[in-house]
Amino acid sequence: DVKVTQSSRYLVKRTGEKVFLECVQDMDHENMFWYRQDPGLGLRLIYFSYDVKMKEKGDIPEGYSVSREKKERFSLILESASTNQTSMYLCASSRAGGQFGIQYFGAGTRLSVL
């Protein structure tokens, strides 16, 4: 089974702090994704990476950056956390080609910014 692991289930940070959310997948997937989940809005894509050191902006990249130094690891960075970034963050991975579009998700990190 594919396993996508997010390093923290819950995080509490203060406004202005730099925040790192880590995600690791164990299936050698090329694609990795960071989503933000808010009630009534579903999942919105923040950033997407299709290879090491490669990234593309999603629908809501403002206030976020990402890093992918190794194929299995994809980090989301909040340079200066703000209260409107309080949310659930979900990481996902998928294989490029074949099994089109099937994304496998981590359990999520619930971030509170005070």
Partner 1 sequence: AQSVTQPDIHITVSEGASLELRCNYSYGATPYLFWYVQSPGQGLQLLLKYFSGDTLVQGIKGFEAEFKRSQSSFNLRKPSVHWSDAAEYFCAVGNNAGNMLTFGGGTRLMVKP
- What residues make contact with partner 1 under the rule CB under 8 A? 4, 31, 35, 40-45, 48, 50, 90, 92, 94, 96-97, 100-108
Residue closer to partner 1 by CB (options 85, 103) is 103
- Of 76, 36, 84, 42, which Cα lies nearest the Cα of 60? 36
Smallest separation (angstroms) from partner 1 to the CB of 108: 6
**Cα 81 → chain centroid:** 15
For tokens 């997948």, the residue is: 25
Smallest separation (angstroms) from partner 1 to the CB of 51: 11
Q: Hey, is 48 helix, strand or coil?
A: strand
Residue closer to partner 1 by CB (options 17, 88) is 88
Q: Per DSSP, what are the bridge partners of residue 105? A: 92
Q: In angstroms, rounded to a whole number, what is the distance separating the alpha carbons of residues 108 and 85?
A: 15
Residue closer to partner 1 by CB (options 85, 94) is 94
Residue 14 tokens, joined: 């203060």
Smallest separation (angstroms) from partner 1 to the CB of 82: 23
Smallest separation (angstroms) from partner 1 to the CB of 33: 8
